[in-house]
Amino acid sequence: MDITAPVRESLAPSRRALRVTSKAIPEHNRLHNRSLILQTLFHDGTMSRADLARESGLTRVTVSDLVSELVTEGIVEDRGPRDGIRVGKPATLVGIREDAFHILSLDLSGDERFIGVVVNLRGEVLHRAETHVEGKTGEDAIALVIDLCRRLAELATVRILGIGIGSPGIVNDDGVIEEAPNLGWYGLDLGKRVAEDQGLPVYVGNDANAAALGVHTFHAASGHSLLVVTIEHGVGAGLIIGGALVVGDQFAAGEIGHLIVDEGGELCACGRHGCLELSIAAPHLRQRLRAGGSSERAAILGDAGRSLGIALAPIISALNLNDVVLCGPPELLDGPLLDSARDTIRVRTLSAVSNGLDMRLAKGGEDLRLLGAAVLVLSAELGVS
């Protein structure tokens, strides 16, 4: 049974939450309820139908009906009776069958390599492949992406739910890459190109937003709001507020790399002086560390952390964010840089804002963007995020 066509209407919760919907019709309710069941099983794990009804707020009859449908489709499976001694017949547990589908997930943010993985529905990486970019841009870079997808598709051993791609640059709501200057892509519907080759649904999102989705979905943060700052070749941020990804009016939310943090600073490629990217992007930092030698290491990283704190303090204050996650090379970010960024934010914000601040390094490094790209597929196809 083809489940992709009707379920796709459920769309990502982040968009659905803001969409003004027309009159609810029964089929929409059904798709919504189905997503709710999958979402509950995805986050809370195996449980009985009665627990599922309680957790989801749906009636037992609705839950039973939809679970039967999902079992028939092979997405959910019976896991046998609950362990332990209880009075009466033990309840049968149900859970998501993690190998019901595989997802192909690509991260195009690296300046040297495009990375791809095959993951199951639990976000476990089953296979990996990569391709060297070697400075390729435009059509040549598109060909690399298509080739990487073909190689990944051969590694998948069950039906593929879809392909998720995290791309650098500005990506609009339809997944069109409006501009990714490093790859020479402007107005590129990469998803359409890949879909034409693979015959699968393809979802493209910004790489920093993908990192935020990866942290939010697979590394449960303490709340529903989260700022993920990616510090690699460039600097970007992904923002989740109240469980919804914030993309912004021009789809450029989180483009913090060219905020000016040092007005008398060096000239940046964007034409301004003293951009955040010059202070903390990995290549710039490494260059300064090489020039400065080991005696200046802590001071150089501390200065970089201060720049980051200056840029983030107003964002954290405006939104009263508790969870801030840095994603990038730990040898650069952990230690003086992180400490100095935290201190700078504390000094520049009211204690009501900074008391709850939990600023930390991401666990899982580069895989977060890949997992987040998989979430694009999960949320669009199954309503799970």
- Beta carbon nearer to Zn ion, 233 or 346: 233
Q: Per CB under 5 A, does 258 bind Zn ion? A: yes
- Beta carbon nearer to Zn ion, 275 or 382: 275
- Beta carbon nearer to Zn ion, 109 or 120: 109
Residues 317/302, Cβ–Cβ less than 8 Å: no
What mask, x for binding Zn ion by CB under 5 A, covers residues 214 to 253? Answer: ----------------------------------------
Closest contact distance (angstroms) between CB of 272 and Zn ion is 5
Q: Per CB under 5 A, does 267 bind Zn ion? A: no
- Beta carbon nearer to Zn ion, 33 or 307: 307
Stretch that binds Zn ion, among 21-29, 181-189, 235-243, 264-272 (CB under 5 A): 264-272
Q: Which two tokens mark 383?
A: 């309503």
Say which DSSP state 59 is in: -
Q: Is the dihedral of CA 362, 241, 261, 208 positive or negative?
A: positive
Task: Provide the residue type at 311 as one letter.
Answer: A
- Beta carbon nearer to Zn ion, 63 or 278: 278
- Count the alpha carbons within 13 Å of 206 in the hemisphere toward its beta carbon: 30
Closest contact distance (angstroms) between CB of 270 and Zn ion is 3
Please give the residues from 65 up to 104 whose contact with Zn ion meets the rule CB under 5 A: none
Stretch that binds Zn ion, among 25-33, 55-63, 67-75, 255-263 (CB under 5 A): 255-263
Hey, how many other C-beta atoms are within 10 angstroms of the C-beta on 106?
Answer: 30
Stretch that binds Zn ion, among 79-87, 105-113, 266-274, 282-290 (CB under 5 A): 266-274
- Beta carbon nearer to Zn ion, 158 or 260: 260
Closest contact distance (angstroms) between CB of 228 and Zn ion is 21
Closest contact distance (angstroms) between CB of 133 and Zn ion is 22
Question: What is the total residue count of the chain?
Answer: 385
Closest contact distance (angstroms) between CB of 64 and Zn ion is 57
List 195, 268, 289, 319, residue binding Zn ion (CB under 5 A): 268
Helix (H) or strand (E) holding 123: none
Closest contact distance (angstroms) between CB of 250 and Zn ion is 17
CA 97/CA 120 separation, integer angstroms: 9
- Beta carbon nearer to Zn ion, 92 or 250: 250
Closest contact distance (angstroms) between CB of 103 and Zn ion is 35
| 156 backbone dihedrals φ, ψ, rounded to 5° | -70, 135
Reported in sequence order, the residue ranges of the chain that DSSP labels E, i.e. its strands, are 47-48, 76-81, 92-96, 102-107, 113-119, 125-132, 160-167, 170-171, 177-180, 185-188, 202-206, 226-231, 235-241, 244-246, 323-327, 358-361
Residues 118/102, Cβ–Cβ less than 8 Å: yes
- Beta carbon nearer to Zn ion, 163 or 208: 208
Size of the site for Zn ion (CB under 5 A): 5
CA 157/CA 153 separation, integer angstroms: 9
Residues 198/153, Cβ–Cβ less than 8 Å: yes
Please give the residues from 269 up to 288 whose contact with Zn ion meets the rule CB under 5 A: 270, 272, 275
Closest contact distance (angstroms) between CB of 276 and Zn ion is 8
Q: Which of 28, 39, 2 is nearest to 375 (CA)?
A: 39
> Which residues sit at the interface with Zn ion, rule CB under 5 A?
258, 268, 270, 272, 275
